[in-house]
Amino acid sequence: MKPYPFFSQINGALAAAELPLLMDPPKREKLRPNPVGELEILNRGGVITLRLRVPRTPAEHTFVLGSRWCSRGIWTPGNRFTIIGKLPQAVGGWCDITDLYVNAFGKPPVGRRVFIRTRQLINGWQDGFKETCADVPLPEQ
């Protein structure tokens, strides 16, 4: 790869993550497979909770991207994703992303589908997106 496109790719990823830009080429990083698993949405008495299954620790800079909730008939929202924040610390194998999502798109209504993507980043090198989705259930009693 030529230098300009290479630095544009690396520094573009760092800038999007609000991390310091590099002036020297970073060494090639080997990213382990993204461990972030399925999205689970709970509705306990009308209180919606969105959380991601994380069985092992991902890269230090793992970002959560979301798209606005949509009809359950939609299987993929295309490229309408935006970074909603950095993946929070896991507690008991789950990361609560409720605040990240609600701050970006509002509280998703019952019966709607939520799509989430995650991506790991190390020194500007990033892995592919890992996508998951879930439907907002009726309230539990």
Q: For all residues of the chain together, what is the average pLDDT?
A: 92
Q: Report the predicted TM-score, pTM, of the whole model to 2 decimal places.
A: 0.88
pLDDT in tens, 63-73: 999 999 999 88
- Residue ranges per structural domain of the chain: 29-135
What pLDDT, on a 0 to 100 scale, did the predictor assign at position 31? Answer: 86
CATH fourth-level superfamily of 29-135: Immunoglobulins (2.60.40.10)
CB 9: neighbour CB atoms within 10 A?
14
Residue with tokens 């090198």: 125
pLDDT in tens, 6-32: 888 899 888 988 889 998 888 888 889
Distances in Å between the Cα of 74 and the Cα atoms of 17, 102, 115, 133 are 28, 20, 10, 10
Q: In whole angstroms, what is the distance from residue 52 CA to residue 36 CA?
A: 7
